[in-house]
Amino acid sequence: MTRTSRCSSPVCCDQRKNAQKPAPIASIGLAISPGVGTITRLMPKMKTKSAAKKRFSKTGSGKIKRGSKGRRHILTKRTRKSKRQLRGSRLVHSSDEDNIKLLIPYA
């Protein structure tokens, strides 16, 4: 059994071939700050809740907009005026805004 490598041990050569290369910094969630040279953490990112992103959106001033309730079915018993007033969107109450902003951090 002849080997072409410098090492005579088969275990040593096999381990060297199968050794993993170190992962780049970005793939493990780290970044080097420009100029300073310090490593900062990028991950974990906050996830947006899928249900919330379908129901809420932010206005230009930063308030949260929502749709009107009571417009899905059984509208025959409602008057024309009440159905008309349900059109469009509403703003979320200020007491609920902080909780919803946590659900849609990047909106």
As a whole number of Å, the end-to-end CA separation of the chain is 65
Of residues 31 and 85, the one with the higher pLDDT is 85
- Prediction pTM value: 0.57
Number of residues assigned to the chain: 107
For the chain, residues classed under CATH 4.10.410.60 are 50-103
pLDDT digits 0-9 by tens, 9-57: 666 665 666 666 655 655 666 666 666 666 666 668 889 999 999 999 9
Q: What is 9-44 written as a DSSP string?
A: -HHHHHHHHHPPPPPPGGGGTEEEPTTT--EEE--S
> Rounded to an integer, what is the distance from CA 8 to the centroid of its chain?
52
| 50-103, CATH topology level | Factor Xa Inhibitor (4.10.410)
